[in-house]
Chain A
């Protein structure tokens, strides 16, 4: 008696896919696609880029199933491929002088209060407008961060992944994830301070001109074409 695919765990599904089951991968991807979508959406900052990155990742994962060595969770492996696809896309899209606002801002605005204020503020149009504006501003500022810092903040601070898990997804040491998060938060706070949003932390007063974090870090320089110059 054949066990239905949806009853298989992730490693078994991947193994079935490797063995030639034409539907196993679809079941595996469907199982995790909402979380992968969330990460892709927040990492790329736009639904279109997220969809394209996911498609790239999907194809990559499908074809690279044999590269999964089993030393991490299948979900970690999938997230890693998705995040890499998002980062590749961000790097390709980078040097955008005027960063457009994320496309799903209306969606955020309609989702109600999370960032500030009590829940009953939902009844107050002015409070809702302020919240919406705040979300919009934070997401726009997030899009101005270097891709690696943004990805670290999305995984750790937004999606709530433990640092170690985020490190496995990003393919770097845990200390690097912490560093990227710390730098990213500091830079984000500075960007938000420029827009008048306060209360985001002690580093909010840092300005882009004076803040060394507004310059690429060593690792970011290494990731740049040409490698940058070591500080």
Chain B
């Protein structure tokens, strides 16, 4: 029953279409993996894409086409040695955290659109980003102090408060991990695109409220951050992954320490890196 295009099989080996192994094929079909990609893996890969997008190696200017079946040289990004929490924070750095009287609202600025918001967010890191540039790769290259060189993070501002630090950090991390693919896709609304955080599970009305909150975000606070050169608040914290933030209206840095037992300590430090302003411990 060997088909004409079957390669020669040893004697006794049923051909591809032979029903002898139908039961086995049924068994194998039943083992198909049906669960979606785990959230931690998705977040990790999202962070990798953010890295790649930020580095903006001009793909169009890459070398001559490589045949599809040629293995690519070893990638430059470390694999399992890579921090599992650091990328989450860096992904979370793409989120703008709005702390208001009504609690914490989260919105992720995905693409350019609303000039006021985009300008405030982007200029926070780039100084003067031309409208339309969601993530400026050149400015990214000017931000080497970011621990993992994630320019996507450089283009956003994380706003935290001392009073709500613990909850805000947890929400930030959850936001970085939990959204599904579809939730992360941008939705155009008056030029402003965003996806809602799964925490605290806002409905349509909440989304609108968040949107308004974003528009009303204290521009002075962001301007303050924007006028502070990143290099002025990029301390090296030994053993930690660091992310620039605004804490209580002042530039600060978030330092993430991962212990061997999986516990993660997150500290907000001042721009010298020596003064811990507020901290919290969270499970990995």
On chain A, the number of residues with a Cβ less than 8 Å from chain B's Cβ atoms is 88
Residue of A nearest to B20 (CB): A202
Give the complex CA separation of A116 and B24 in angstroms. 11
Q: CB within 8 A of A23: which of B30, B57, B80, B110? A: B110
Contact of A66 with B62 in the complex, beta carbons under 8 Å: yes
Contact of A183 with B13 in the complex, beta carbons under 8 Å: yes
Report if A127 contacts B (CB, 8 A): no
Distance to closest chain B CB from A20 (angstroms):
7
Report if A226 contacts B (CB, 8 A): no
Contact of B31 with A42 in the complex, beta carbons under 8 Å: yes
Contact of A64 with B62 in the complex, beta carbons under 8 Å: yes
Residue of A nearest to B113 (CB): A2
Distance to closest chain B CB from A129 (angstroms):
16
Contact of B16 with A178 in the complex, beta carbons under 8 Å: yes
Distance to closest chain A CB from B84 (angstroms):
10
Contact of A178 with B33 in the complex, beta carbons under 8 Å: no
Of A93-101, A118-126, A168-176, the segment with at least 4 beta carbons within 8 Å of chain B is A168-176
Q: CB within 8 A of B25: which of A58, A81, A185? A: A185
Give the complex CA separation of A174 and B31 in angstroms. 23
Distance to closest chain A CB from B2 (angstroms):
9
Give the complex CA separation of A192 and B45 in angstroms. 36
Helix, strand, loop or mixed for chain B's interface?
Answer: loop
Report if B204 contacts A (CB, 8 A): no
Contact of A199 with B72 in the complex, beta carbons under 8 Å: no
Report if B35 contacts A (CB, 8 A): yes
Report if B190 contacts A (CB, 8 A): no
- Contact pattern, A 57-98, Cβ under 8 Å of B = 1, otherwise 0: 011101111111100100001001100100010000000000
Distance to closest chain B CB from A198 (angstroms):
9
Contact of B27 with A115 in the complex, beta carbons under 8 Å: yes
Report if B69 contacts A (CB, 8 A): yes
Report if B124 contacts A (CB, 8 A): no
Q: 5 nearest interchain CB pairs?
A: A114-B30, A175-B5, A178-B16, A179-B7, A201-B21
A-B contact pairs, 22 of them (CB 8 A): A17-B59, A26-B49, A26-B50, A55-B77, A55-B79, A58-B49, A59-B48, A60-B72, A62-B52, A64-B62, A80-B69, A138-B28, A157-B25, A163-B16, A171-B69, A175-B5, A175-B7, A178-B7, A179-B16, A182-B13, A183-B9, A212-B10
